Amino acid sequence: MEKRHRQRCRHPALIIALAVTSYVAPASATTFVYDQLSSSVPGLLIQSSMTIAGSGTLADLPIVNSLSNPIDFGSLLSFSLTVTPDPNHYSLVDFAPQGINGFPLWHISPTEIDFIDAFDMSDFEINITLGTINFNEDGPGPLCTQTGSCMATGRWVAAPVPEPSSMLLMFTSLLCLLGVAAIRSVLGIVPEQCPGRQPAQALASPSRRRCWKRAKLPAV
């Protein structure tokens, strides 16, 4: 009896210990969103964002370019730039090594981001210090085909990236369930089938009979 009781107590405690030691808190990140305040061309909207690992700032942007080997974006986790109404969208995937035609041609630093696409058809320049974004293209968009005509002015606003709380909630619920199991094992409470009825029926009976019995623990 003592051996079986120790086994019942050991398993929930072991599961809880493994769950605690294996849980890793999700890493945080900060997303900087471009808040456009004005533009040089009516109807021009430039939306951009950058996500930096940890609680970093834009000063933590890497210094890297299309000739770097290897290309290491460091703490820069993501980048996005969309120009409306022109159908242009750019991400870190576009910041590839320079091809045999000399493009894409780009560089990233804490003060600016310059980019010319792989076909030399469009380019943009982000001045982080001044809060300006200049966009140019050869086509097919109708707005920015004249070099230097499309300029947006704004600011970069930091917004913390929400961490996945659902994982923490599930982990907490698991600990609660395992804790109940551990308490029952320590107290020696084990389920017992009620004669002539299922446990669920017994719990719903008027007498609220719980159908549990206390195991006889060895004297200490």
Q: Within this chain, do residues 146 and 46 fall inside the same structural domain, yes or no?
A: yes
Determine the 3-state secondary structure of 85 from DSSP: coil
pLDDT tens across 8-37, in order? 444 554 444 444 444 444 458 899 999 999
Q: Which pLDDT belongs to residue 55?
A: 76
Q: Within this chain, do residues 105 and 143 fall inside the same structural domain, yes or no?
A: yes
Q: Within this chain, do residues 47 and 14 fall inside the same structural domain, yes or no?
A: no
Measured over the CA atoms of residue 57, residue 162, residue 38 and residue 43, the dihedral's sign is: positive
Which of 63-72, 137-146, 168-177, 196-205 is most confident? 63-72
Q: Within this chain, do residues 192 and 206 fall inside the same structural domain, yes or no?
A: yes
Q: By residue range, what is the domain housing residue 178?
A: 2-24+165-214
Closest by alpha carbon to 215, among 44, 2, 23?
Answer: 2
Of the two residues 28 and 58, the one the predictor is more confident about is 58
Instruction: Read off the tokens for 154.
Output: 């704004």
Determine the 3-state secondary structure of 87 from DSSP: coil
Quick one: DSSP state of residue 193? P
Mean pLDDT over 171-182 rounds to 53
Query: Does residue 194 fall inside a structural domain?
Result: yes
